Every structure is written in structure tokens, then in C-alpha cells.
Structure 1
Amino acid sequence: MLKHTRARTLTALAVAGLTALSALAAGAVPAAAAKASGAPKYLSANELPPYLSSTWTAGKIEDGVPEGLQYCLGDAFLAYDVNHRSFRTDLEAGATQTVVVTGSDSKAKALATRLNKDFQKCVSESSDPDVEVEYRDLGTLPVEEGARVHGVASVASWGAMDLRLLSVGRDGRTVTVVDYGQFGGFKKAPVKAFKKTTTTAVNKLY
């Protein structure tokens, strides 16, 4: 059961809050200060990749790191004030958008770099013998200060197939992570639509 839970974490998109730690000490911008200077805007439900005949529903903006990112990216977020919005369908798809406003462009650049590296490392170190994992670097996007897109497909020995698309983008001192998951593999992956969603997410921040 423990191995099964660890493997499924790579594609889990359930939403839960995790209190951010030491935001001021790390130079992150408090929520009130961010709002005063123009708070970043989030994706709307209709800006997510279409999924079969289902309709996306957007949740409220919440504090903390979504549960689906805690395993691979939790350590990178610990020093920052983090907020997120979750999205769900009535079928087998879900997503989150996470936003971090750092203290400077240089800190945001360093955070984005670490998030990309940590995610790739997390996937490559997945060693559950009951789950076969395939990682694909889906390239970069020329939006604001840039975005990188990752794809992960997993097939469990009991037949379950999961797809995860994740992107890290930056606009100045702000970093956003869009995390999307559905049943299936790369054959039906909505990569083009997800890249459009990522571009919209970064452009929409400010």
C-alpha cells in the first residue's frame, strides 16, 4: 500500500493546504503587500484544456501548497508565501495552479530553475517496481520570462494509467506552476492545449 501511495503521488491532484513557512525571512512578498502592488490573477475554469464532455469547475484561491505538489516540490516552496487554485471535472481529470510572489526577479528565476530540476529529479528517482514511469521534456514556451513544460505517464502493474502535465513559468518576480492530470498516457495527452493554458496562465498574472 505504501508503494502504491508513493507512485500515485506523482499524478495526484487532490487539493490540500500546507502553511507556508518564514516568508518574510526569505524575502517573499506577504499577501497584503502583493495585493497593494497588484495581486497576480489566476486561470479561469474555461482556460483549462478541454476534457471529453466534462466541464471544469474552479475552486477558490487558497493558501499553501496543493497536495499534488508536496511530494516533488514541497521543499522548494517552504521559504515562500504560496497560494493556489484547484480545478476539477466530474470525470477523471483535475488541475491546480500555484502562484508564488518572491522578493525579486533573481529569486523568482532561482525558484523556477529549482522547481524544474526538482520535478525531473523526483520523477527519475521513482523506483517503485509496480509502476513504470515515462518522463518527457515537452520544451519551453516564449512567454514573459519563459516557461518549461514537463510530461509524465505512469502505468501500474494492475493496469492503471495516469498522465501528468506540469509547467513552470515566470513573469518578473512571480512564478506559477500549472499541474494537470487525467487517466491515460501520452497517446491522448492534450499537450498543445496544455501549452496554451500555460501561456495564458503566465500572461494573465499581470
Structure 2
Amino acid sequence: MKLLRTAALTTAALGLSLTSLSWATAAPAPKFLAAAEMPPAPTAWTAGPVTPGLPEDFCAGTAAPRSSSKHRLYATELDTNGRQTVTVAASEAKAKVLVNRLRAAVESCFDRMKQENPNVDGEALYHGELPVEEGAHVYSIDSFDPVGGSNDVALYSVGRDGRTVTVVAWGQLGDLEDASLSGFQKTARTAVTKLY
């Protein structure tokens, strides 16, 4: 009886150490941008908690799988906001497919806006790929609704490091001339670099 109890305790201890070992060797969780790493703004940025799932985003929508995504929201005291979504794909091949799907969603965003509201005017531009890890693609969407009187600009980046994909979105009232494109490009590079 004593021998069985010792064997059970040894097995339990071994199981505990194997569990601890598997946690220790697990891949580290991707890191998100800090508030101070967002593009320059007249007032300071604040960052919300990292939350499971996808944020509300008309352009990126549900192109990424909700179950393997997390996001963080950012805001300033003025009309400037941001979002970062991080999705860990099952493989690098699936991450490449996801990047293409997200890029297509962002590239078609302005056309979908016009379908919903034919009065909307503006343009969507591709600002190229940033040389960071497996790349980060940068876009701008400048829109004006003459009926509602709103003028908005949004910047997006879709980047990848291995099998992890991140989308950074930034938006405020105004047009592209009011946006800090170079500041956003720096944020986009940081977002990909900082993942791991």
C-alpha cells in the first residue's frame, strides 16, 4: 500500500513538472503597442486592455478569425482613435493567406463605403510595403460625406512576423494632409517588430 502511494505521488509530481515544462517552452504571446508608440497627437494616447476577439472595424471586418485574434483599442482626448489586432495563424502558409485576405478587405473598403452611401467622396491610396520582418503594407482612406458634413481619414497597416499577423488602424476627423503618415509608418514598423 505504501509503495502504491509513493508511485502515485511520484507520477503526480512528474505530471506537474511536465506541465510546468510545457508552459515554460510554449511560444511567447505576441506583444501589443504601448500607448506612447502610437503616431504623434496633440493630446496623449491611452490604451485599453488586450481583449480576445476582433474589434468593430468596417474596413478589416471579420477577415481574420475571431477565435485566434486579440485586439487593443487606443484613444486621445480629441477625435483620434486607433486599434491593433493580432492573429496567430496555425502556420506561416495560413498567415500569408490571411495577410492577402486582410489587404483585399482594406483595399476594397472605400468602394464598400460608396456602396453603402453613394454620396461619399474621397480616395483610397496604397503607400507601399515597409521592410520589417515579412513586411507591413500601409494604406490610407480619405473620405468626405457632403450630406452629413463629415470629413474622415483612416490609415491601415497589415503586417506579418512568421505565422503572426497584425493590423494597425488609425483614424481622425480631417483629411490625409492632417494625418502623420510618417508617424503611422513608424508605428506600423514598431507593431511588427514588437510582436516577438
What is the Cα deviation at residue 119 of structure 1? 1.4
Partner deviation per Cα, 1:56-115 (whole Å, 9 max, x = no partner):
0011100111112xx333332236411001111111100011000111111111100110
8 Å CA contact 1:49–1:193 kept in 2: the answer is: yes
Task: Structure 1: state its 5+ residue gaps.
Answer: 1-32
Partner deviation per Cα, 1:131-152 (whole Å, 9 max, x = no partner):
2131011111000000100100
Tell me the equivalent position of 2:123: 134
Determine if the alignment matches structure 1 residue 185 to structure 2 residue 172.
Answer: no
Name whichever structure is richer in helix by fraction: 2
Determine if the alignment matches structure 1 residue 145 to structure 2 residue 134.
Answer: yes
From 93, 109, 112, the counterpart of 1:125: 112
Superposed CA RMSD in Å reads: 1.8
Structure 1 residue runs of 4 or more that deviate by more than 3 Å after TM superposition:
none
State the number of aligned residues: 171
| TM-score after normalising by structure 1 | 0.78
SS at match of 1:60: coil
Question: In structure 1, what residue type is equivalent to 2:126?
Answer: D
Tell me the equivalent position of 1:47: 37
Task: Structure 2: state its 5+ residue gaps.
Answer: 1-22
Tell me the equivalent position of 2:145: 156
**Alpha-carbon distance in 2 for matches of 1:72, 1:164:** 10
What is the Cα deviation at residue 36 of structure 1? 2.9
Show the 5 A alignment for 1:1-206. Answer: 36-52=26-42, 54-68=43-57, 71-78=58-65, 80-127=67-114, 128-157=117-146, 158-206=148-196
SS at match of 1:152: strand
What is the Cα deviation at residue 200 of structure 1? 0.3
**Alpha-carbon distance in 2 for matches of 1:186, 1:163:** 6
Tell me the equivalent position of 1:5: none
SS at match of 2:152: strand
SS at match of 1:76: coil
8 Å CA contact 1:80–1:102 kept in 2: the answer is: no
What is the Cα deviation at residue 178 of structure 1? 0.2
**Alpha-carbon distance in 2 for matches of 1:121, 1:47:** 28
8 Å CA contact 1:151–1:165 kept in 2: the answer is: yes
- Quick one: structure 1 residues 79 and 189, their matched pair in 2 at CA, closer, same or farther if it must change by over 3 Å? closer
SS at match of 1:182: strand
**Alpha-carbon distance in 1 for matches of 2:66, 2:82:** 23
**Alpha-carbon distance in 2 for matches of 1:88, 1:169:** 21
8 Å CA contact 2:129–2:136 kept in 1: the answer is: yes
> What's the % identity of the aligned pairs?
45
**Alpha-carbon distance in 2 for matches of 1:186, 1:79:** 30
